């Protein structure tokens, strides 16, 4: 039986079908769980309309090309699925709410004898999650405390920062260090040369003598709206 377009809970798209989020099941041997071996991208909505879906999906496919993961279909279908997923979840938004919308693709499960799985290709999940406006309201009002941790950003000759992958340990460990000093602070990592680089999900800009400065794209994941 096909799933109704409007459900009373958020739905996701998983490996070819729309379904309630609670029914999405990823095998525990999935490469993203075992190794952080997967790519993703996120866009958000403004006023219940998605923002620059094509640009985010194009960046997703550049990440997948770097990881050599083939999701089995191209950017046009990914954009269409993302738009449809948003429409299926939009009625659950309050008048002042908006969503993150993400596409997540892992390499899948490496086949082993007796695993009893009938599918070993990439696992693909498209999902929506509410933007945390209440939790972040103070940041817009009072600003963000920023602390530079001792951990440096992974150098681009080890792993390009321009691919958005599921391996966030470098940024997570840096954030934990900073939050052990100040639970409300955000980590801003330096690159291997000691220059300002980026934080988890954030680009940095500074203004000096009327000029806007931001790190070179070699060292950071450039935001689509950057």
**Residue 224 counted as domain residue:** no
**Residue 92 counted as domain residue:** yes
Can you tell me the mean pLDDT for 103-122? 93
**Residue 220 counted as domain residue:** no
d(CA 200, CA 189): 9
Residues 45 and 95 grouped into a single domain: yes
pLDDT of residue 75: 98
Confidence class of residue 19 from pLDDT cuts 50, 70 and 90? Answer: very high
pLDDT of residue 62: 97
Strands 146-147, 186-187: pairing is parallel
Whether the predicted pLDDT of 5 surpasses 70: no
Residue pair 93/133 in contact by the 8 Å Cβ criterion: no
CATH number of the domain within which 73 lies: 3.30.470.10
Whether the predicted pLDDT of 7 surpasses 80: no
Instruction: Identify the domain boundary among 98, 131, 164.
Output: 131
Whether the predicted pLDDT of 188 surpasses 70: yes
d(CA 199, CA 8): 36
Residues 72 and 44 grouped into a single domain: yes
**Residue 222 counted as domain residue:** no
Count of the separate structural domains present in the chain: 2
Task: Give residue 89's domain range.
Answer: 11-131
Three-state SS annotation for the chain:
CCCCCCCCCCEEEECCEEEEHHHCCCCCCEHHHHHCCEEEEEEEEECCEECCHHHHHHHHHHHHHHHCCCCCCCHHHHHHHHHHHHHHHHCCCCCCCCEEEEEEEECCECCCCCCCCCCCCCCEEEEEEECCHHHHHHHHHHCCCEECCCCECCCCCCCCCCCCECCCHHHHHHHHHHHHHCCCCEECEECCCCCEEEECCEECCEEECCEEECCCCCCCCCCCCC
CATH number of the domain within which 196 lies: 3.20.10.10
Whether the predicted pLDDT of 27 surpasses 80: yes
Q: How far does Cα 42 stand from its chain's mean position?
A: 5
Prediction pTM value:
0.91
Residues 209 and 122 grouped into a single domain: no
pLDDT of residue 95: 94
Instruction: Identify the domain boundary among 102, 131, 160.
Output: 131
Instruction: Identify the domain boundary among 114, 131, 148.
Output: 131
Residues 117 and 35 grouped into a single domain: yes
d(CA 4, CA 83): 16
pLDDT of residue 131: 94
Confidence class of residue 196 from pLDDT cuts 50, 70 and 90? Answer: very high
Can you tell me the mean pLDDT for 103-107? 98
Residues 101 and 189 grouped into a single domain: no
């Amino acid at each position: 039986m096909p799933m109704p377009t409007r459900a009373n809970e958020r739905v996701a798209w998983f490996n070819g079908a729309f379904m309630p989020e609670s029914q999405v099941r990823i095998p525990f041997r999935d490469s993203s769980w075992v190794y952080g071996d997967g790519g993703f991208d996120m866009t958000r909505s403004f006023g219940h309309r998605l923002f620059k879906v094509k640009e985010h999906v194009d960046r997703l496919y550049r990440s997948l090309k770097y990881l050599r993961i083939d999701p089995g279909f191209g950017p046009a279908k990914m954009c269409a699925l993302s738009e449809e997923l948003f429409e299926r979840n939009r009625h659950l938004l309050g008048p002042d709410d908006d969503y993150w919308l993400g596409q997540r693709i892992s390499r899948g499960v490496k086949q082993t004898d007796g695993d009893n799985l009938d599918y070993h290709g990439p696992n693909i999940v498209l999902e929506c999650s509410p933007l945390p406006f209440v939790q972040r309201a103070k940041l817009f009002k009072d600003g963000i405390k920023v602390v530079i941790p001792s951990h440096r950003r992974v150098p681009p000759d080890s792993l390009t920062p321009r691919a958005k992958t599921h391996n966030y340990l470098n940024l997570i460990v840096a954030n934990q260090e900073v939050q052990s000093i100040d639970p409300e602070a955000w980590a801003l990592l330096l690159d291997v040369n000691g220059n300002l680089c980026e934080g988890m999900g954030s680009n940095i800009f500074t203004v000096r003598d009327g000029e806007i400065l931001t790190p070179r794209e070699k060292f950071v994941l450039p935001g689509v709206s950057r």
